[in-house]
Amino acid sequence: MAGKFELYKDNKGEFRFRLKAGNGEIILASEGYKQKSSAENGIESVRKNAPMDERYERKDSSSGKPMFNLKASNGQVIGTSETYSSPSSRDNGIESVKKNAPDARLDDQTA
């Protein structure tokens, strides 16, 4: 099963998206956007930037767990991962985003 983007509204009324792998696991999540069109632009940016390894910032969370950010060409973070148990698990998460994001369908839950 292919990955998908879910576009939804959070409790504050902001638009957010998350990328889910084919198994339903969330592999990337966005910040909140005031406008739906901004969130849609964020999804397109993820699709475009996901295949490029240099767009991934591999780092540790504040709790010391491995995680990553996906950045646009301007350096802005367009998606953040969950935390992982090991650097190799994080790298597997990056590979999953690379594989799933470009062709992921959009599930618009705000319509």
CB 82 within 8 A of CB 67: yes
Q: What is the pLDDT of residues 48-66, one digit of tens each?
A: 999 999 999 999 999 999 9
Backbone angles phi, psi at 91, to 5 degrees: -65, -35
CB 36 within 8 A of CB 28: no
pTM to 2 decimal places: 0.94
Over residues 24-43, mean pLDDT? 96
CATH architecture label of 4-108: Roll (2.30)
Q: What is the pLDDT of residues 34-51, one digit of tens each?
A: 999 999 999 999 999 999
CB atoms within 10 A of CB 63: 7
Beta bridge partners of 107: 6
Q: What is the predicted pLDDT for the residue at 92?
A: 96
